[in-house]
Structures are given as C-alpha cells and as structure tokens.
Structure 1
Amino acid sequence: MFKTVLRYITQWRLRQASQRNFLIFCSVIVGLLGGLSAVALKYLVHFMEELSRHIAEHLPFHIIYVFLPALGILLTVAYEHLINRDHIQKGIGNLLISIKKNKSNIGINNTYSHLISSSLTVGFGGSSGLEAPIVCTGAAIGSNTGRFFNLSAYEKTILLAAGSAAGIAAVFNSPIAGVLFALEILIGEITIPTFIPLLIASATGVVVGKMLNSRQLFHLVTEGWLFSALPFYVLLGILSGFVALYITNVADRLEKGIFKKYNRYVRALAGGLLLGIIILLFPPLLGEGYHYLQEALNGNMEALKEESLYADWLSQPVLMLLFIAALVLIKVVAAGITLGSGGNGGTFAPTMFTGAFLGLLLAYGVNQTGIIHLNTSNFIAVGMAGALSGVLHAPLTAIFLIAEITGGYVLFIPLMIVSSISYIIARMYNPHNMYWTHLIHEKRIYPDQDYSMLSTIGLDQVINREYTLLQKSTPMTEFFKALSTTNVNIFPIVGDSGELEGVIWMDEIRKRLFDNQTASATVGDFMVNPPAIVQQDQSVSNVMELFDRLDVWQLPVVDDGKFIGFISKSALLTKYRQALIQQHRNADFFARYDDAH
C-alpha cells in the first residue's frame, strides 16, 4: 500500500513540476518541520526545567546543583540505551559522516530522539547547548524527506542541509545565519541550486518559530562602537583565536568519553556528579548559561554572584575578574564532561558562552584600570562571534548570527575584525574546524576533497571478481595453459577452504619463462606474499592510501580470510572520475530547468 502511494506521488510530481521546483517544494516541508521541531525542543526543555525546579524544592539548597545534572545525564543514557537502542547519531560530526559516506541517509529515529535526550540533559542542568541536537534533528527530517520521495543522494544532501538551516534559524530567529551555517559547515560550497532551497527552508523555520514561540533569545543591548576601542577589538580577536584552539582541543579530548573503564550508567553517574561539583563552585555553568549571558549583556554584574558560595568575595573587582576568567576556561570543560559522560548536547552554546565572557573579561578588566571606558555589551557580543569563528572556522556564520540575535548590526566592523583575526589564528594552528578535528583524530573521515569523493564509492563497486584460482600444487604447465585464456597480470593462490595463501605476478614469470626448470616446477615455487591484503569492509580512501604508499596497482581482497577478488588502482581512479563527473552533472542539472519533467 505504502509503495503504491509513493509511486503515485512520484509519478505526479514528475508530471506536474520540474525536479528543481519539486526540491523547492520539499524545502518548504523540511523548513516547516524543522521549525516545529525547534519549537518542540524549546517547550520540552522548559518542561524539564520546571520539573527539575519542582524536584529542587524538596532538596537542601546548593545540593541540587550536584545531583540534578547527574540525574539528567542518567535519564538520557537510560533513554538512549533502553528505548532508543543506541540508534541515535550524536553530533554534527556524524552528519558529515552521513553526507560523505552514507549518501546523506540518516535513521528516521533521529527525527525525534535528539529532542527527548537533549531536553533531559540540558533541562536538568547539563552544561551543553541545544544547537547540535536541533541541527541533527533538522538534518534527519531533510534526509528522510528525500528518502520518502526517492530522491538522489545529491538532492538528499541539499534537504539535509536545509533541515539543519531551518533548525538553527528557528532557534536563534536568524535566517541568514542558518543558511550560512549549512553552507560553511555541512556543504562547503555556495551555488544557486543549493542556496535557494536553504534560504526557503530557513525562512520557513523562522516564520514557524516566531508564530509559535516569539520569545527572543537575547534582547537588543548593543550600541555603536568607537574608534578609540579599535585596538581592544584587535586584542579580543587575537585572544579569541587562542581560546578557540583551547576549546577545540579540550572538547575533542573530553567528548571522546570519560571514566571509560566503567559501564555506561556508572560513567553517567560519576560524570554527572563531577559536573555537579563544578556547577556548585561556578553556578553560571548550569545549563546553556544564556540567562547569565543576558544579564551580563544588560550590565548586571550582580547576577554572576547569584547562589554563589562566595558572593561576598566577588564584590572585589580583582576576584570578580578571576571568577570571569575561570568561567572562560571551565565552561568547555563542563560541556565536555556533560557529553563525555553520556549526555546529549553540543558545544555551540558553550562556545558562545566562552566567547561572551572572554569579551566581558577584557572590557571589565580594562574599565577597572580607568584608562578608557569600553562598552561591555559590545565586547560580549563581539566575543561570541570571535569564539564561534575560530572554533567552527565559519566567520560568515559567526558574524551574521551574532548580528541577528543581538541586534548588533551597528557592530559589523568590530564583528568582521574580531571574527577574521580569530579565524586566521585558529586556522594557522589547526587547519580544520572542531568537527573535522574530532573525526580526523578518530580516523573516521578525511577532509581532503579527493578523499571525500572517494568515500562516496563503495569497495564492492570496484572489486574484480573474474580470476583464475590456483593452488600451490598446480603444475606450471597447467598454469601456462591458463595464460592463453586470460590477459590478467596477477593470479591468486588459495588453500582448500578458499583462504588466500599468496599470489603470482606475471612480471616475475616472464623473467623465467624460458628457463628449462620452470616447466617442471609448481605454482607454489613462484608464489609470493602480496604487499598488502585489503579487507572487504575497508574504506576506499584507505585502499587508495595503500596504493600510493606501496606503489602498486593491484591488491587482493579477502572477506573473513577468504579470497573474493582483486582491486586495481586504475579501476579506483576510473570510478573516482565517474563520481566527479556525476557531481558536476548534478550541479548543472539544478542550474537549469529540466523541461523533460
């Protein structure tokens, strides 16, 4: 029944609309669902926060900070293990894996599982952000919309990015930043065929978000900038670049997991309690931290003392400076512990928090000297952009996001200066953004364009299964007879159960072809070990690395030890060329109207 309905829908859309127009129609659907998901996540988090407050009313003061984050992480781990069965794909890095290696296919359970698990983590005080979960949710919506309509991998990638753009746009009420995030982080290229669906989905997401939840993330607080503050914006850009490197390195190490030798529940409880102790010492690290960020934007420094164990000490400017500096350094640690112990969230919000308090640290510190008075709100806003630009390696996203959510268009020049300097410094020491760095360290993906293209090719597509099997006891006279029926340059030697024992290279046989002793010998006398053996589940990019490193053109392939065929470098290069041509054809296809449809 379902297949019949899908077939009728496919036939209808082919008759009624061009492929490009239909993709735009799909982007509206994806934007609508992405916006609804963002609103649903906000309400879920609000519900969890109210629930956690209700629980806190029955606990001693300050103790809630220790136990509630652990409870949230524990519930998240239990949900993912017992209900979701570990099918959730956490993090934006997994989206890149899906695009590069899985033809933009994402499991349908990811359309809702991130909403539940991240609301449990953040709603109970986990020190992470909701941006990565909503990006993953929107991406899953886009991917599954493309799968429902049986679209190509290229079209699914566009819809995946459109869903991510809609999610970001709806959360921040920032349509331009949503589009730029999808282009800079997920797709990596800007073309009209990709830009239009992203723009439509992003705008649709914002409209839905404003209709159902009109609350602004931050209020308009920024003012015009002064030329006398320009050197300090340059200094903030330099500091942001090095802080971005710090965020990337710390997050990469902690998100890989903590307390690894224990089971998931012990790890969640231990990590949650450790996080709770940190939050007890630094209350602004609770949850996303946007409440304290807004208070800092309003110039309300007293809010940082709320529920602090040493509020009286923070009345002294020097100790307040040290407290702010500690927040800059520890927020990413708290976020890493949250995620490393099993919570679901992202480092997008912690990065913004860190950048904001870096800007506050600089402005507040300079103001205490009396040399010049700096607008702390401006430096907080620009600091957010600097940290995001350095961590994400996405300066355009950082500039427009902060400009849109703070109303800081008057700060465009400082935003450009700080974001550019931070990006240059961060890229100088680390050529990859935070997501790529994590994947590269795990050796799961390569950022190079050639390897990205190779990763879209399946190994089964290039395995040559036409071969002549030989055994070590086969006389060379029979081998010579086999040569007359084939033109291959390599032959496999296998055992009785099909396991690979060695190979014979024709180049070596030619050297001894007219040797009198050759005719009386057996194949085993000429057998050699291959320079490497390829496993059937090995990635194509790894195989290409083997070819380049060993300087060979053919290698045997085995599956569970048994020989199944050969793979050649020339076949790989041919397949790569075909994939490259197909990519350009897809781009050209969406650049014009397809009158055939």
Structure 2
Amino acid sequence: MNNSESDLERAATAEGLPVAPSAAPVLEAARVPLERSLIDARVVLICAWAIALAIVTGFVAQALVAIIGLVTNISFYGRFSTAFVSPANNHLGWLVLFIPPIGGVIVGLMARYGSKAIRGHGIPEAMEQVLLNESRIPARVTFLKPLSAAISIGTGGPFGAEGPIIATGGALGSVLGQIFRTTATERKILLAAGAAAGMAATFGSPVSAVLLAVELLLFEFRPRSLVPVALASVAASAVRMLLVGTEPIFGMPMLARPSGEALAMYALVGALIGWVSVYVTRAVYWIEDLFEHLPVHWMWWPAIGGVFVGAIGIISPHTLGVGYDNIEGMVAGKIAGEAVIWLCIFKFLSWSISLGSGTSGGTLAPLFTIGGGCGVALGELFALSFPRFGIDPRICALVGMAAMFAGASRALLASVVFAFETTLQPLGLLPLLGGCTAGYLVSAMLMRNTIMTEKLARRGVRVPAEYAADYLERIHVGDACSRNVIALREDQTVDEVHDITATHQGFPVVDVHGRLIGVVTRRDFMDRDPDTPLRALIRRPPSVIFPDMSLRDAADHMVREDVGRLPVVDRDDPRRLIGIITRSDLLKVHAKRLDEERT
C-alpha cells in the first residue's frame, strides 16, 4: 500500500473503526480530510526532544548563574569566584558609579555587532518570533543573550536572571527545531518547552513555568503542545534538584490560616498593586521613549542607563544586581518600615531607567521586588488600621509581588502558582488567588497592553489576549450544511444549465444514478461550447467532508484544497450526496456565538 492509499484509509475511519471495504475505491478518488488523534508518534518524538532540551537548559541555567556570580565577584570584590553573591556588600564607595556603565558599554557593543535581539528582557522578543517569524531565532542569540545578561547583571544591573534564561531556553528550542525537520507549530512547542525549562531550572517552579509558557508563548491549550512543555519543565526541575537541592528559592516562616476579614484586605492589597502595575508599565515605556529622542546611537544607551544605576547604587546598594535576597527578606518579614519603602522606590527608578535604555536583563525579579515592597507597606498600614483583622505583612508582601507581575504581564495563573512554588506556603494560596485576580482585574480595566506586549503593539504586532475554544470545533458539518442541494447531472450540457449556474458559485455533479462524481464552478463554464457535457468540465476528484466532522475540519480542508465549498457525503456511502457546506455557512455559524455574547 502506498502513502496516499494509507492516508486515505486513515481518513476514512470514524473513531478508529474502518468503513466498509467497498468504499475504498471511492475514497481513493475523493479528497477527504485526515482525522488526527490528539497524540501521535510525532508528538512522542517532540516530547523526547523537549526532555533532552530541558536537561541541557537546566545545566545552562546553572552555568548562567555561575557566570553572573563570577562577573559580580570580579566587578565588585576583585576576586575570582563563581559564588552567587549580592553586590550590596561591596566597599568600593563612589567607584560603584563606574561599574554599571562599563557593563553597559560591553552590552551595547554586543548588541550592535553581535545581535540586536539581545536587547530587552527576552520574553517580548520570543513572543515576536513566535507570532511573526515561525519561531525561528538566530543561533547566535543562544550564547549572546545569556552572556550579555551575565555582564549586565554582574556589573550591577537591577535585573533578574530569569528573563535571559527563559529567552536562552527558548532560543535553544528554536535552534533545535531548525536543525531537525520540524513544522512551525513544532518549533513553537520546542521554543516554549525551552523557555519553561529555563524558568523551572532557575526557580524550581515547574507548574508555573508551564502556565507562563501557555499564557505568554503558546497562545493555546492543546495536548500536543502542553505535554512536551510539561515534560520539559519537569526534566529541568530535576536538574535543578540535582545541582541545587529542593529548598524554595524564597524561604519564609510558616503562615497562619487567614481570617475572612484578612482575605478581603489581601484582595484589596492586590487591587491596589494592580493599579500600581499600570503606572509601572507606562513609566517603563515613557522612559524608553525618552531614550529614543537622545541624539546618540542606541549602542550607548545602556551605558547612559548604567550611570543612573551606579548613582542609585551608591545611595541604595541593595538595588544593585538580581536582588533575590531582597524578595526573601520581604516575605520573611526581615525588611519592613521605611527601609522597604525606599528600597522599593530606588529599585523602581534603577530598573525602569536601565530597562528603558535597552540593556539585557529580566523583569520578573524587579517586579517582584517592587510589588513585594508595596505589599509590605500596605500590609503594615492595614495592620495598624485594623488590628482585629489579623493582617500579616508577610502575606501582603507575597500577594504584592505576585499581583504586580499578574497586573503587569496578565499571566494570572502563572503568578499565583509561581509565588506558591517559590515559597512552598500552601496557606498563602487563597490570599494569592484573591489578590492576583483583583490586581489582574484592575490592570485589565485600565491598560490595554501589558509590559510584555506594549513593545509588540507599537510595532504593529497583534498579540492574542484571550484563549477560547475554537467555536467551529464545537459544531458538526451536518448541523450547518445546506441540505437542499442543487445538483447537476453529468449528461447535462452547458447550455441546459445556463440559467441555473447564475444562482450559485459552484455545484456538485452526479451521475445518472444520483451518485457524486465531482464539482464544477462558474469559472469552469467560461468560454465553453454550449453542447459540452458537464462531465467534461470536471477537472479533479471532488474534495468532500463527512457530516460528523467539525466545521474546523471543513475550514481547514477548504484552505488545503483551495476551494470555497465542500460536498457533504455519507461516511458509509461516500458517493451519496447529503448536503453542501460553503464559506458563507462557516461565517453564518458565528452569528450564534455573537448572540450568546449579547446582553
């Protein structure tokens, strides 16, 4: 049996049951859409590649952390060590002013002469490749992005390592998909798998890594994409457990069960921080616009931003570098009062200016620091104002950092689960869900685009914001097709059907027994002799559809076959015509969907 016969045999099955053998010759001539299972052998192969990719990404993530530690130790302490340390304890004094600009110069040179794609925090750039470039990322980005980020962060850049690691994992997945023969959809899956692996390897947060990939990169929720990404996330987390251990990255004391009044206040904290996230996002892009008006080449912008980072670092040393220790201090109750307010303000200024300059670094850790600081401040205020509610400022810090990211990125579920996975505090889940949802709601009401999508929107790229089930997938062809079909006989001539052909664009053609043999369109009648029989106008076997298939199958089949209508035939008797489905019928079904949305 050749490949085409094998495909046709698979196409002629219903839920795995073969049709009558007598129908095989007809099916071989007709063109019917293939019916694919949710998971097939190709998906299993993609899963294997995703797991291998995740293992490599897990080691790359730890290598990047080590390189950041090396650059930090050399820049601020003058020693050769890969230990991951904070620049805050340096004794350089005013010399700190010069270190971030030096890093900015190096990053600017790498961006100009290496790849401009290393600028920014990585996730919007990965989204752009998914949406516009069939998930093709240049191979050089796989080493330029982590190296530039390590230099930027190691010289005091106020960023997290997670953004560059996510971007690097995504780039590795894209390159893997380009090396092997894959479709654009499969490359997107591998890109998302690499990105999820990068996040899981950094924070030990496999579930939120999958959710982030779904909400920001995949733009879908299908088994053939979800399974490889989930397996990659698990594999990367296993590598992290092997190299680092299982302790949460942000350790905090056990929490008490919140009261109903406290839950309401945590939701209010989330709503307020969601409102703040709107202005944080706008400020970042306002500063970016200011840099666009500078009369110098963009290569020098990171160095200019570095001057501000260094100056603020002299005033507030804890704004330098990744700042994971700041986040842990907030959720553990070690940083509070006036200190947390000033840290929050200076971190925001340092990060927004540096990010606006186009240097390389991540946004998640800075947003968590700013949100956590706002949460602590609000928590202390509410605890003093309503002492009987039992409000815990540590939970407010937890809610604040997650709500800030949920409001700025609109990755709601990823934000909730991430805060839980990085602290392992189950009693914080309910406050997190309420606070993040409230922040998401406020942000969605006040801001159309997010910190991830505003840059793409300015370039004219439309990013999906809602992921709903395909409405066409819900409706059978048999429920939407026209049953009163005007069919022409093969022995009729062009002249005999002249008046009939003016009523529609295309018509099925049947033999003398009423059995389908083909389809003709108005174009087929042009410049034809009036005595030409219709059978002579049929140029190819008919493209048909079964009534139990979905309208999505019909739409896809029309595109593949380049036709505007499909005869609907009986699955058990494929030459028996029972209806016809057109592009107009596909559009008409959306009227019901619009009616369902009307009040």
TM-score by length of 1: 0.66
Distance (whole Å) between structure 2 residues aligned to residue 31 and residue 135 of structure 1: 11
| Contact 2:406 2:439 (C-alpha < 8 Å) held by counterparts | yes
Alignment of 1:191-340 (within 5 A): 191-214=222-245, 216-227=248-259, 228-256=261-289, 258=291, 260-264=294-298, 266-301=300-335, 320=338, 323-340=339-356
Q: Which residue of 2 aligns with 1:343?
A: 359
Q: Which residue of 1 aligns with 2:57?
A: 34
3-state secondary structure, aligned to 1:262: coil
Alignment of 1:510-521 (within 5 A): none
3-state secondary structure, aligned to 1:108: coil
Alpha-carbon offset, residue 386 of structure 1 = 0.9
| Contact 1:135 1:164 (C-alpha < 8 Å) held by counterparts | yes
Alpha-carbon offset, residue 370 of structure 1 = 7.5
Q: Does 1:416 align with 2:433?
A: yes
Cα shift readout 1:207-261 (whole Å, capped 9, x = no counterpart): 1122123374211434023214223212202112101101211122234562631
Tell which deviates more after alignment, 129-138 or 276-285.
276-285
Among the aligned pairs, what percent are the same residue? 26
| Contact 1:87 1:109 (C-alpha < 8 Å) held by counterparts | no
Cα shift readout 1:430-463 (whole Å, capped 9, x = no counterpart): 233221122112334454799xx9xxxxxxxxxx
Q: Does 1:428 align with 2:459?
A: no
Q: Which residue of 2 aligns with 1:141?
A: 172
Distance (whole Å) between structure 2 residues aligned to residue 106 and residue 440 of structure 1: 20
3-state secondary structure, aligned to 1:31: helix
Q: Does 1:51 align with 2:80?
A: no
3-state secondary structure, aligned to 2:441: helix
Structure 1: which 5+ residue stretches go unaligned? 1-16, 305-316, 454-576, 583-597
Cα distance change on mapping 1:432 and 1:57 into 2, 3 Å: closer
Cα distance change on mapping 1:238 and 1:446 into 2, 3 Å: closer
Distance (whole Å) between structure 2 residues aligned to residue 446 and residue 428 of structure 1: 17
Alpha-carbon offset, residue 36 of structure 1 = 1.6
3-state secondary structure, aligned to 1:129: coil
Alpha-carbon offset, residue 330 of structure 1 = 4.4
Cα shift readout 1:449-489 (whole Å, capped 9, x = no counterpart): 99xx9xxxxxxxxxxxxxxxxxxxxxxxxxxxxxxxxxxxx
Amino acid of the structure 2 residue aligned with 1:217: I
Cα distance change on mapping 1:85 and 1:223 into 2, 3 Å: closer
Cα shift readout 1:256-275 (whole Å, capped 9, x = no counterpart): 56263113454333321122
| Contact 1:250 1:332 (C-alpha < 8 Å) held by counterparts | no
Tell me how many residue pairs correspond in the alignment: 423
3-state secondary structure, aligned to 2:196: helix
Amino acid of the structure 2 residue aligned with 1:125: G
| Contact 2:117 2:125 (C-alpha < 8 Å) held by counterparts | no
Alpha-carbon offset, residue 578 of structure 1 = 5.6
| Contact 1:179 1:202 (C-alpha < 8 Å) held by counterparts | yes
Alpha-carbon offset, residue 149 of structure 1 = 1.1
Cα distance change on mapping 1:448 and 1:38 into 2, 3 Å: closer
Structure 2: which 5+ residue stretches go unaligned? 1-39, 79-86, 471-554, 561-599
| Contact 1:174 1:401 (C-alpha < 8 Å) held by counterparts | yes
Alpha-carbon offset, residue 300 of structure 1 = 2.1
Distance (whole Å) between structure 1 residues aligned to residue 300 and residue 175 of structure 2: 35
Q: Does 1:154 align with 2:185?
A: yes
RMSD of Structure 2 on Structure 1 (CA): 2.9
Cα distance change on mapping 1:233 and 1:37 into 2, 3 Å: same
Distance (whole Å) between structure 1 residues aligned to residue 90 and residue 229 of structure 2: 47
3-state secondary structure, aligned to 1:218: coil
Distance (whole Å) between structure 2 residues aligned to residue 408 and residue 327 of structure 1: 25
Cα distance change on mapping 1:52 and 1:87 into 2, 3 Å: same
Distance (whole Å) between structure 1 residues aligned to residue 89 and residue 407 of structure 2: 43
| Contact 1:436 1:447 (C-alpha < 8 Å) held by counterparts | no
3-state secondary structure, aligned to 1:205: helix
Cα distance change on mapping 1:231 and 1:98 into 2, 3 Å: same
3-state secondary structure, aligned to 1:406: coil
